[in-house]
């Protein structure tokens, strides 16, 4: 099913990443199966950078598609048009109808594609054959000079065929609400799924916030300082914080919740277990 055709709101989705090597495939496949069993609206599969990661991305996405809707990520910054055609042909053969069109990280060797400059270029090419989604950063893309230019780039993605957006993770819901106001004021009216990252691994969270420009709020910093040296306590605090964040988002009419699982289905399951009597009635009523 195409994500754009799903009627239930708010949507629920999880993200998983493929193994970097073939020897790790079993663990990622098992995590995908467990997440799919929770019956999300879709399960997104990140795009492995070259080698086994790239091959395994399609294989994991195909596995997901057999039991639920798969959203395959596809990057273009270092890809030729012929390479993109080969990947999309493989995805289509696996029955996958949804792609998240991404520029991707800049290649370390500095060699960029001559066929694509922005994710919008990829979205334009895929639109029609696939339901295309795009990424967005509530706190602004770390490489973008101004917020206004960032919003224009997002608008360009939507005008190029993106039918929904998924945000980078954030820890202050007011940041998202202000971001949505800016988007809507510029005529960007597609569904925006809110990305949630459980703060269960202090080292990983600090690394990822540095990479993507997300701000650690005083509340999150306090939790990391207090519980960071106690893995069990940090895990429990992270699950509680994510659930609290989602409750507020749902109460304020979020289009969807997208959980960055880091291939930890047990954590995603605990979060959703805490929300069973909150999330389900909203979806069943179509509110």
Residues with catalytic annotation? 15
131 exposure class (CB count in 10 Å sphere: 0-12, 13-18, 19+): buried
The dihedral over CA atoms of 83, 85, 89, 92, expressed in degrees to the nearest 10, equals 120
CB atoms within 10 A of CB 226: 12
Note the Cα 71 to chain centre separation in Å: 9
Contact 82, 49 (CB under 8 A): no
What are the DSSP calls for 162-189, one per residue?
Answer: EEEEEEPP-S-HHHHHHHHHHHHHTT--
Whether omega for the bond prior to residue 232 falls within 30 degrees of 0, making it cis, is no
Q: How far apart are CA 267 and CA 168, in angstroms?
A: 19
3-state secondary structure of 71: strand
**Left (φ > 0), alpha (ψ -120 to 50) or beta: where does 164 sit?**
beta
Residue with tokens 């055609």: 85
Contact 14, 287 (CB under 8 A): no
Judging by DSSP bridges, how do beta strands 192-196 and 11-16 pair with one another?
A: unpaired
């Amino acid at each position: 099913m195409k994500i754009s055709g799903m009627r239930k709101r708010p949507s629920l989705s999880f993200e998983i990443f493929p193994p970097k090597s073939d020897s790790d495939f079993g663990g990622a496949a098992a995590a995908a199966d467990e997440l799919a069993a929770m019956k999300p609206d879709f399960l997104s599969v990140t795009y492995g950078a070259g080698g086994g990661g790239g091959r395994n991305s399609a294989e994991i996405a195909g596995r997901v598609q057999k039991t639920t809707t798969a959203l395959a990520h596809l990057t273009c910054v270092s890809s030729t048009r012929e390479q993109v055609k080969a990947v999309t042909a493989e995805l289509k053969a696996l029955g996958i109808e949804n792609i998240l069109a991404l520029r991707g990280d800049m290649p370390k060797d500095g060699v960029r594609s001559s066929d694509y400059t922005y994710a919008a270029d990829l979205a334009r090419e895929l639109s029609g054959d696939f339901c295309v989604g795009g990424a967005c950063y509530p706190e602004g893309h770390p490489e973008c000079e101004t917020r206004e230019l960032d919003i224009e780039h997002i608008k360009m993605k939507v005008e190029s065929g993106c039918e929904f957006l998924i945000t980078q993770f954030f820890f202050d819901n007011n940041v998202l609400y202000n971001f949505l106001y800016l988007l809507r004021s510029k005529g960007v009216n597609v569904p925006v799924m809110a990305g949630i990252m459980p703060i269960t691994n202090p080292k990983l969270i600090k690394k990822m916030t540095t990479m993507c420009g997300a701000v650690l709020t005083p509340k999150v910093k306090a939790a990391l300082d207090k519980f960071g040296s106690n893995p069990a306590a940090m895990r429990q605090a992270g699950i509680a914080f994510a659930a609290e964040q989602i409750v507020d988002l749902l109460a304020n009419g979020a289009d969807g919740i997208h959980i960055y699982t880091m291939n930890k289905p047990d954590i995603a399951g605990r979060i959703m277990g805490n929300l069973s009597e909150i999330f389900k009635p909203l979806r069943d009523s179509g509110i």
